[in-house]
């Protein structure tokens, strides 16, 4: 597990907004949580957040908790509740759509 300080996650965001985390690996963005199979194991990658931080949680099917790999980038998107309510048609699982709608920079 890795805890990432994110000062932009305020009490207001925590209570009424949204925090999405996307894994970027091999030029592909995948919304978390996600499950992947490799070398006979199943890896589940999830996240949790609270005021001021995001935790990336990775568990293998053998129940070991792993640290995130250094060759994977995680993108954290923070959306205020009022902005989220005006954009109900956005597919928040699709990073490219979120990036376009909210004019995000990589």
Q: Has residue 75 been placed in a domain? A: yes
Q: Has residue 19 been placed in a domain? A: yes
Per-residue pLDDT reduced to its tens digit, 41-100: 898 999 999 999 999 998 888 877 667 777 789 999 999 999 988 988 999 999 999 999
Query: What pLDDT does residue 76 have?
Result: 97
**Total domains, the chain:** 1
How would you list the strands of the sheet with 28-31, edge to edge?
28-31, 18-25, 73-79
Give residue 7's domain range. 2-80+89-101
pTM assigned to the model: 0.87
Query: What pLDDT does residue 3 have?
Result: 93
Query: What pLDDT does residue 9 have?
Result: 98
Q: Has residue 30 been placed in a domain? A: yes
What are the strands, taking DSSP E only, across the chain? 2-5, 18-25, 28-31, 34-38, 41-50, 53-60, 65-66, 73-79
Tokens of 29: 């963005």
Q: Has residue 106 been placed in a domain? A: no
């Amino acid at each position: 597990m890795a805890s990432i300080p994110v000062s932009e996650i305020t009490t207001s965001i925590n209570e009424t907004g949204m925090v999405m985390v996307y894994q970027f690996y091999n030029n592909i963005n995948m919304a978390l949580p996600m499950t992947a199979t490799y070398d006979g194991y199943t890896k589940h990658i999830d996240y949790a957040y609270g005021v001021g931080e995001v935790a990336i949680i990775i568990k293998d099917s053998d129940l070991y908790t792993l640290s995130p790999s250094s060759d994977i980038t995680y993108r954290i998107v923070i959306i205020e509740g009022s902005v989220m309510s005006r954009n109900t048609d956005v597919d928040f699982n699709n990073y490219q759509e979120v990036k376009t709608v909210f004019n995000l920079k990589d």
